[in-house]
């Protein structure tokens, strides 16, 4: 099945003859028996499926091999980084992608399937699934589909990762580092070629989850400008506890806008998170809106949950 152009959400079910699945059994929300369970569920659905469960170091190769086999649907049961990599590899030409929730934050899976567990999401899309074109963004050529954060507040992400792994001493040390570096250098930016501004950080939110964007035409852009350590700690604590995308728009340190392209630069490398995954970007970054990034297999509109507020 070839998918090449953007189209409105389909009401027709796609024909699925061949399915490939890549499972990371070491991801936080998966477990050692998930691959066997997934394979059994696909067999019960009467699908010709190949399920791979490689080690973490072979996930990228497994994704590439699965896509090279030209399935109608690629199922991924893993963490946020693997879901993002799979979406980038599928691209607008396909195959269809179903990134099931197998990580800790599950940003892209939650945006597509709400709070469903992976088994429930799988049953729903196999029984009633429709095709949804998904837009996204790129920062320095690196894809994101939910949100990207550029600037010092992204330094809280490594602290959060350490806390997830129950490395509490390391989490505290990284949190302290984030506070110390909060005012070490602001980023400069221009949205759609307009005047230059400064900010502590920039957040780019994709239409998939944005409350402000009612059509998939641009990225929502938010500049974070804390006035002092109290603001930094408030925003940092939200990030630390995984609530960076809760009611952060209402914070007085945040100003909102929208763009299809942005130029962001700083005196040194720019800390970032892309769909919740830490990244280190160069000092000069181009951000752009991608109208059609990939196609997802999702529940029909009447069964879809409310889009998570971000």
Considering the entire predicted model, what is its pTM?
0.82
Average pLDDT over residues 140-160: 80
CATH topology of domain 147-274: Tumour Suppressor Smad4 (2.60.200)
Q: 236 phi and psi, to 5 degrees?
A: -65, -40
Q: Is the peptide bond before 131 cis (omega within 30 degrees of 0)?
A: no
pLDDT score of 104: 78
| Whether domain 18-134+293-298 has CATH 3.40.50.10330 | yes
Task: Count CA atoms within 13 Å of residue 282 on its CB side.
Answer: 9
> What does the pLDDT look like over 109-143, one tens digit per residue?
999 999 999 999 999 999 999 999 999 999 999 99
In the chain, what percentage of residues exceed pLDDT 90? 48
Average pLDDT over residues 208-233: 73
261 close to 193: Cβ distance less than 8 angstroms: yes
37 close to 23: Cβ distance less than 8 angstroms: no
> What does the pLDDT look like over 12-49, one tens digit per residue?
688 899 999 999 988 877 888 899 999 999 999 999 89
| Delimiting residues of CATH 3.40.50.10330 domain(s) in the chain | 18-134+293-298
| Delimiting residues of CATH 2.60.200 domain(s) in the chain | 147-274
pLDDT score of 27: 83
pLDDT score of 241: 44
């Amino acid at each position: 099945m070839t998918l090449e152009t953007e189209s409105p959400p389909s009401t027709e079910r796609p024909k699925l003859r061949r399915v490939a699945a890549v499972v990371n059994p070491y991801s936080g929300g998966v477990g050692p028996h998930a691959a066997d369970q997934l394979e059994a569920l696909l067999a019960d659905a009467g699908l010709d499926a190949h399920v791979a469960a490689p080690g973490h170091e072979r996930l990228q190769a497994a994704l590439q091999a699965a896509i090279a086999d030209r399935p109608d649907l690629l199922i991924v049961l893993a963490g946020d980084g693997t879901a993002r990599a799979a979406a980038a590899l599928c691209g607008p030409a396909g195959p269809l992608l179903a990134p099931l929730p197998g990580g800790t934050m599950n940003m892209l899976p939650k945006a597509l399937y709400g709070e469903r567990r992976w088994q429930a999401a799988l049953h729903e899309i196999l029984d009633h699934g429709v095709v949804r074109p998904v837009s996204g963004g790129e920062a320095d050529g690196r894809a994101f589909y939910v949100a990207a954060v550029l600037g010092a507040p992204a330094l809280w992400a490594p602290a959060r990762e350490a806390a997830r792994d129950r490395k509490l001493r390391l989490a505290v040390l990284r949190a302290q580092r984030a506070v110390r570096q909060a005012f070490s250098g602001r980023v400069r930016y221009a949205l759609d070629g307009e005047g230059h501004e400064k900010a502590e950080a920039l957040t780019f939110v994709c239409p998939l989850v944005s409350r402000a964007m009612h059509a998939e035409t641009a990225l929502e852009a938010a500049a974070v400008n804390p006035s002092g350590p109290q603001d930094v700690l408030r925003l940092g604590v939200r990030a630390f506890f995984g609530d960076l995308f809760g009611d952060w728009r209402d914070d007085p340190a945040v100003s909102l806008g929208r763009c299809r392209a942005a130029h962001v630069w700083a005196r040194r490398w720019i800390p970032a998170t892309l769909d919740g995954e830490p990244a280190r970007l160069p000092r000069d970054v181009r951000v752009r809106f991608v109208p059609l990034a990939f196609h997802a297999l999702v529940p029909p509109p009447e069964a879809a949950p409310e889009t998570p507020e971000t």
